Amino acid sequence: MEKLSPEEIFNKTIGYVFLKLLIPAAAAVVSLIAMKIISAAAGGEVGIVGTAIWLVITVGVAFGADFFVGYKFRAGHMAVVTDAVSVGMVPDDAKAMAKESLEFRFPTCNDYFAYKLAVTGAIGQLQKNLNTFAERKRGVPVLGQLISLCQVFVGMALSFTYDLVLGYTFWRDGKPLYTSASDGVAIYYNCWKRITSNVMFLALEIIVTMFVVFLFVFAIVAAVFAPTYGPIAGGLLGAAVAYFVCSIVKSVIDSGLAIRLMTSFFEEAQYAEITTDDYALTCRASSKYQKLFNKAQREPQNQPAPPME
């Protein structure tokens, strides 16, 4: 069967991309409404106390929405993308397929975030060897600067690993949840150069785009609201709106890049034979991966995969 291109998969699953945008968009609306209510209650400038209340409301709503609802959009998207990449077609009933996969892997939001904490913790430590080498070479002219720049790009590349590993856990191969996560991280860590060979310039493009968008939105919003709510509240409101706008823009870019990387990842993952040395190498690079690996070893290994549609 002819495989779909990353662009075709992105276009066929773009509905999930827009669903993921609802969380930062809704949080931004609530943030603006909260500022308006607090300002009206204070009779003008918000002040330090009002600003603190507004920050609590804004952060609380954003976190709560992502915790209870947002993860379903992200995980559901990766479940559908995984089928599209590995099988070669988008499921006819993508919504039902995503729901089934979520219920199978993450019955509750606590299950999802416990998994996310374990996986992202392991991923975050995978730069340890590069960081140690960079510290020794920072004093070398030019080389130190090049290594520092390389770390930025590697960090951007590794930030997408979570989506790849999340997709790998939805792959219908019968492995338990943490065993799939452990294998997915090990495969990525041992093949990341091939998987992310074209990601450097894309990462640079994302960094520059986010920086420009943030400054542009921040300047406009702060200039509009500072006269009404005061310079501190206006500046914070500008930063909050700019952050939410950047989240929306980045969500679209991230989705496209994650799909592109997942295509390369599954070329490696579908035929990968993970050896004891691969596990050992990854465990040496990350103590948190060692904990993830140990958790996988304690899982029952006879869990069936959900039936194919």
User: Model confidence over 107-129: pLDDT tens digits?
Assistant: 999 999 999 999 988 888 876 55
Answer yes or no: are the C-beta atoms of 259 and 103 closer than 8 Å. no
Comparison of pLDDT for 280 and 271, the residue scoring more: 280
Q: Between helices 109-124 and 177-195, what is the axis angle to 10°?
A: 40
Per-residue pLDDT averaged across 291-298, rounded?
92
pLDDT in tens, 61-92: 888 888 888 889 889 989 999 888 888 788 88
Q: What φ, ψ does residue 265 adopt, rounded to 5°?
A: -60, -45
pLDDT at 308 over 50: no
19 membership: H or E segment, kind and range: helix 14-42
Q: Give the per-residue pLDDT at 307.
A: 43
In angstroms, the CA 16 to CA 84 distance is: 14
Report the mean per-residue pLDDT for the chain: 79
CB atoms near residue 242 (< 10 Å): 22
Q: Is the pTM of this model over 0.85?
A: no
pLDDT at 205 over 80: no
Answer yes or no: are the C-beta atoms of 240 and 31 closer than 8 Å. yes
pLDDT in tens, 142-183: 555 555 655 555 555 556 678 889 989 998 777 899 999 999
Per-residue pLDDT averaged across 301-305, rounded?
55
Answer yes or no: are the C-beta atoms of 80 and 90 closer than 8 Å. yes
Cα 63-69-75 angle, rounded to 5 deg: 105
Q: Give the per-residue pLDDT at 197.
A: 66
Answer yes or no: are the C-beta atoms of 238 and 221 closer than 8 Å. yes
Per-residue pLDDT averaged across 266-278, rounded?
83
Comparison of pLDDT for 36 and 207, the residue scoring more: 36
In angstroms, the CA 159 to CA 178 distance is: 19
Answer yes or no: are the C-beta atoms of 160 and 258 closer than 8 Å. yes
Q: Give the per-residue pLDDT at 309.
A: 45
User: Binning pLDDT at 50, 70 and 90, where does residue 274 land?
Assistant: confident
pLDDT at 243 over 90: no
Per-residue pLDDT averaged across 127-141, rounded?
53
User: Binning pLDDT at 50, 70 and 90, where does residue 198 land?
Assistant: low
pLDDT in tens, 212-233: 888 998 999 888 888 887 888 7
Per-residue pLDDT averaged across 265-292, rounded?
87
In angstroms, the CA 242 to CA 215 distance is: 8
